[in-house]
Chain A
Amino acid sequence: MSLEIASFLPMLRAQSKIEFLRLLRNPWFSIATIAFPIMFYAFFGLAQARMPYMNSTVGLYLLASFSAYAVMSISLFSFGASVAAERGNGATRLMRASPLRPLAYFAGKFIASMAFGGIAVLLLALFARLAGGVHLPASTLVLLLARLLLGSLPFVALGFAVGYLAGLNAAVAILNLITLPLAFASGLFVPLDQLPTFVQSIAPYLPTYHFGQLAWGAVGATSEPWQRAALWLLGYCALFTWIAVRAYYREERKEFA
Chain B
Amino acid sequence: MSAETGEEAVLFRGVSKTYGTLVALDAIDLRIPRGQSVAILGPNGAGKTTALSLLLGLRNPTAGSLSVLGGKPREQAVRARVGAMLQSSGLPEYLRVDEAIALFRSYYPAPLPIDELLALAGLTEKARSRIARLSGGQVQRLYFALALCGNPELLVLDEPTVGLDVEARRSLLATISEIANRGRTVLMSTHYLEEADAVSDRVVVIDRGRIIADGTPSEVKGTVGRKRVAFTSRVAFDDVRLSRNGERYEALTESPELLLRDLFTRGIEIDDLTVTGATLEEAFLALTGGENKHVA
Interface residues of A (CB under 8 A from B): 2-7, 10-11, 13-15, 17-18, 21-22, 25-26, 86, 88-91, 93-94, 96-101, 256-257
Question: Which chain B positions have C-beta within 8 A of A89?
Answer: 89-91
Known: A11-B107, A93-B58. A5 touches B90 (CB 8 A): no
Q: Is the CB of A97 within 8 A of B88?
A: no
Within 8 A of A (CB), among B83-138: 84, 86, 88-92, 94-95, 99, 102-110
Does A90 contact B109, Cβ atoms closer than 8 Å?
A: no
Q: How far is the CA of A179 from the CA of B102 in the complex (A)?
A: 34
Most buried by B among A6, A10, A17: A6
A4 to B109, Cβ gap below 8 A?
A: yes
- A6-B106 in contact (CB<8A): yes
Q: Are B77 and A4 in contact (CB under 8 A)?
A: yes
| A5-B109, A6-B106 given; A94·B86 CB < 8 A | yes
Which residues of chain B are within 8 angstroms of A26 by Cβ–Cβ distance? Answer: 94
Q: Which 3 A-B pairs have the closest CB atoms?
A: A89-B90, A14-B106, A99-B79
Contact (Cβ within 8 A) B77 A94: no
**Residues of chain B from 164 to 197 with CB closer than 8 A to chain A in the complex:** none
Report A-chain residues with C-beta under 8 Å of the C-beta of B94. Answer: 21-22, 25-26
* Cα–Cα distance between A86 and B102 once the two chains are bound (Å): 19
> Which residues of B are interface residues toward A (Cβ below 8 A)?
56-60, 76-77, 79-80, 82, 84, 86, 88-92, 94-95, 99, 102-110, 143, 146, 150
Q: Which residues of B contact A21 (CB under 8 A)?
A: 94-95, 99
In the complex, 17 of the A-B residue pairs with CB atoms within 8 angstroms, ordered by the A residue number, are A2-B110, A3-B110, A14-B102, A14-B106, A15-B106, A17-B99, A18-B95, A21-B94, A86-B90, A89-B89, A90-B90, A91-B91, A93-B58, A93-B86, A94-B91, A94-B143, A97-B58
Contact B89 A90 (CB under 8 A): yes
CB B78 to nearest CB in A, in angstroms, measures 9
A-B pair number, CB within 8 angstroms: 90
A5 B89 Cβ-Cβ under 8 A: no
A91 contacts B109, C-beta separation under 8 Å? no
Q: Which residues of B contact A256 (CB under 8 A)?
A: 58-59
CA distance A246 to B142 in the complex (A): 34
| Complex contact A10–B106 (CB within 8 A) | yes
Measured between alpha carbons, how far is A15 from B92 in the docked complex, in Å?
12
How distant is the Cα of A93 from the Cα of B57 in the complex, in angstroms? Answer: 10
Q: Are A98 and B107 closer than 8 Å at their CB atoms? A: yes
Please name the residue on chain A nearest to B84 by beta carbon.
Answer: A97
Query: In the assembly, what is the distance between CA of A97 and CA of B55, in Å?
Result: 10
In the bound complex, what is the Cα–Cα distance between A89 and B88 (angstroms)? 7
Q: Are A91 and B90 closer than 8 Å at their CB atoms?
A: yes
Q: Compute how far the CA of A94 lies from the CA of B52 in the bound complex, rounded to whole angstroms.
A: 13
Residues of chain A contacted by B110 (CB below 8 angstroms): 2-3
Task: Contacts A5-B80, A256-B58 given; indicate if A11 touches B106 (C-beta within 8 A).
Answer: yes
Point out the residue from B58, B59, B108 that lies within 8 Å of A6, measured CB to CB.
Answer: B108
Chain A residues in 8 Å Cβ range of B79: 97-99
Note all chain A residues with C-beta closer than 8 A to B107. 6, 11, 98-100
